[in-house]
Structure 1
Amino acid sequence: MSPQNFAAGVAMKYVITFRLTTEHYEERISRFLETGAQPPAGVTMLGRWFTLGHDRGFMVAQTDDPTNIFRWVAEWSHLIDFEVHAVLEDHQVAEVLAAQRS
């Protein structure tokens, strides 16, 4: 994906991993039950999964404006530790690799 495409507002996918500590447990649970931890406008959550021990998990989200991902994570960052990674799909990687061979 070229920088020109990104600047034009092409949606990117992000894998967001999170770690839940025992600190702020009650506040985090109450807030999650009240809000569902839904993303802000401009972000589509494609899925969210928790580990069986429910101390870790990950989400896959899509947006054409990465500041929306930052906004979402910032709303919860005092309660949860996050890592955010922009990701590419197989066909996008294959396109880049094929172009390198040419």
Structure 2
Amino acid sequence: MKFIVQWSGLPTAENAVIERFMKTGGQVPEGVTLLGRWHAIGGLHGFAIVEADDIRSIAALALDWGDLLTMSVFPAMTDEDLGAALGKHQTTRRQQG
């Protein structure tokens, strides 16, 4: 399953975030595949798209940086997945109405 991971941090954490990122390369935990990561210019903000089969791996990702960054994680759907869900919803509504 794919997830959108957003993060933000206070300017006071900037040096610690830089140090950790340079040391670890921003590696994700075992069980998580990083599909892409983007960083805002001029602040500790950004987002990544990751994939994992086990929610515990996603929790590990959030915990790895939780002392320095506020993280939000959301399940993500492709256009195709959303289209299929919407089609099923429309069919169900028609059958009920």
- Name the TM-score, length of structure 1 as normaliser: 0.82
Deviations 1:33-61 (A, max 9, x none): 01012111110011111112232110110
1:85 paired residue number: 74
**Structure exhibiting the larger radius of gyration computed from Cα positions:** 2
CA distance in 2, matches of 1:27, 1:53: 16
For 2:26, what is the secondary structure of its paired residue? Answer: coil
Alignment of 1:1-40 (within 5 A): 12-40=1-29
- Name the TM-score, length of structure 2 as normaliser: 0.86
Instruction: Report how many aligned residue pairs link the two structures.
Output: 91
Q: Give unpaired runs (5+ residues) of structure 1.
A: 1-11
Q: How big is the alpha-carbon RMSD for the aligned residues of Structure 1 and Structure 2?
A: 1.2
Please identify which structure carries the higher helix content.
Answer: 2
Q: Give unpaired runs (5+ residues) of structure 2.
A: 92-97
Deviations 1:47-83 (A, max 9, x none): 1111122321101100011110110110110111111
2:94 paired residue number: none
